[in-house]
Amino acid sequence: MSGPIYTNSQGAPIPEPFATQRVGQHGPLLLQDFNLLDSIAHFDRERIPERVVHAHGSGAFGYFEVTDDITDICSSKFLNTIGKKTRTFTRFSTVGGEKGSADTARDPRGFATKFYTEEGNLDWVYNNTPVFFIRNPSKFPHFIHTQKRNPHTNLKDANMAWDYWTANPECNHQLVHLFSDRGTPFSLRHMNGYSGHTYKWSNAKGEWHYVQVHLVTDQGSKTLSAEEATKLAGENPDYCQQDLFENIAKGNFPSWTVYIQTMTEAQAAQQKFSVFDLTKVWPHGDFPLRRFGKLVLNENPRNYFAEVEQSAFSPSHTVPGQEPSADPVLQSRLFSYPDTHRHRLGTNYALIPVNAPINKPFHPHIRDGAMSVDGNLGSHPNYLAYDHPVTFRAEVLLQENQEVWSGPALPYHWTVTDDYDYVQAGNLWKVLARYDNQQANLIKNLAGSISSCRKPIRERAFALWGKVDKEIESRLKKAVADILGDDNKL
């Protein structure tokens, strides 16, 4: 016999794991059978809440390497030397589906990376699209509910989705991404990542810029057609998980080249759009990409639940030199993620190894709570005690002499009254013309979805697309009519 001694959860050896203690051979069970109770009671509690969005995901460890100097833009220590490497953990996800849903569903993809830096954890909680559906955070729960299941039928419901999208036209730019083949990436390795939001990065002198981050896939950007994605969803719903795991296992490590776009406060004031509007991109011609690093994924997780399921990312997990901007969606996310982690994983979620910073955090007042498993700072006072000196890093004073905000408190519904909301979506439609079949596939994918809506919602959808580009509207009307035939009147 070899291998570990089989025990119960308390370490007591169990000679016969499948035996149950009973009265006689076939009589009732005995309550004293701790081996049985221990294993069934733990089994009963195996599931934790799945993420309310981005429930379905795949992850891998890796590293970030600085390739070019950007110390004029950012003072974060992990960026201070060319060639410096920082360990990372990345989780990719789909947004709307449940934990077991298919990898190739039409959906944006999450692209979240945790950097275990010498100054604490930095999380980039990004998507594979450079824009998003909303700029007013109060819409998020409404919007997400329209992407999930109808509370009555328990079915995904195109009527709910298009009812929402047509009433909230700031979505249209993201919809071009979603319904083009970009909405079904070929694999997790073949897609880009984008901060989407504007962030604020500062250098050691306190000079700051607005920044957007781009992770551009070194594998080349590749997509699936709707037919390919549907076929894979039936034949191998875990296709992307398998592709990522197997490529890393055989040493074919995926990587991304990382760039920033930067903008000064004065430049931001001159743009047609607000830099705090998550539905807009910064034109590359005016704000070119500047390379500074590489992200490489080279290590599969040893245990999916421990590392991927229990990973907890938040845009509020940041390090000196990188701060959120005033984008209201980003500001809301700063609250939402740690809030949901406390619900999903518990108040001590930062002690779970995949979430634990490597630089020995010290905060004597953050103590106790469920699952306090790191020794809880032993006999140290549980407050900042006068006779236990600590060091405060003086140079980490940010936000001074930066943006100044003032004004009355007011309820503000951020709408854009000119037609600029439609311009960038129209530009993307024109960009699709450069690629084989991409405009045609967008029309086909939109028509497939819109044709299952009721007629009034279909009419609103045509009107929405007419504002983006008249050609989309006319081609879409024809494609929907072709699908519905006589049913087009309903």
Binding-site members for heme are 337
Our CB check for ligand HEM shows the closer of 137 and 254 to be: 137
Phi, psi angles (nearest 5°) of residue 339: -60, -50
Using CB atoms, what's the residue nearest to ligand HEM?
110
Q: What pairing do the DSSP bridges indicate for beta strands 208-217 and 290-299?
A: unpaired
Q: In the complex, what is the shortest distance from the CB of residue 362 to ligand HEM, in angstroms, rounded to a whole number?
A: 25
Residue 489's alpha-carbon distances to 103, 447, 448, 451, 485, in angstroms, are: 35, 15, 16, 11, 9
φ and ψ of 478, to 5 deg? -65, -45
CA distances from 270 to 266, 357, 418 (A): 7, 40, 16
Q: Output the smallest distance, CB 112 to ligand HEM, in A.
A: 4
State which residue, 165 or 337, has the beta carbon closest to ligand HEM: 337
Q: Which is nearer to ligand HEM, 196 or 321 (CB)?
A: 196
- CB-nearer residue toward ligand HEM: 78 or 132: 132
Least separation in angstroms between CB 101 and ligand HEM: 14
Residue numbers belonging to the annotated binding site: 337
The tally of CA atoms less than 13 A away on the side-chain side of residue 356 is: 13
139, 93, 85, 99: which is closest to 112 by C-alpha? 93
Site residues for ligand HEM per CB under 6 A? 51-54, 57, 91, 93, 110, 112, 125-127, 132, 137, 140, 196, 278, 311-313, 329, 332-333, 336-337, 340-341, 344
| Residue (215 or 476) nearer to ligand HEM, CB | 215
Q: Residue 412 is encoded by which pair of tokens?
A: 């503000």
Q: In this structure, are residues 210 and 259 in contact, taking their beta carbons and an 8 Å threshold?
A: no
Q: How far is the CB of 260 from ligand HEM (least distance, A)?
A: 16
DSSP letter for each residue of 283-349 = -TTTS--EEEEEEEEEE--S-IIIIIIT----TT---TTEEE-S-HHHHHHHHHHHHHHHHHT-TTG
| Amino acid in position 56 | H
Polymer length of the chain: 490
Q: How far apart are CA 278 and CA 163, in angstroms?
A: 21
Cβ 240 to ligand HEM shortest distance, Å = 14
Q: How far is the CB of 135 from ligand HEM (least distance, A)?
A: 10
Helix axes 470-484, 438-450, angle to 10 degrees: 50
For ligand HEM, the closer CB: 281 or 472: 281
In our burial notation (b when 16+ CB lie closer than 10 A, e otherwise), range 200-224 reads bbbbeeeebbbbbbbbbbebeeebb
Q: Token digits for 320? A: 């000196």
Please identify every residue annotated as catalytic: 54, 127
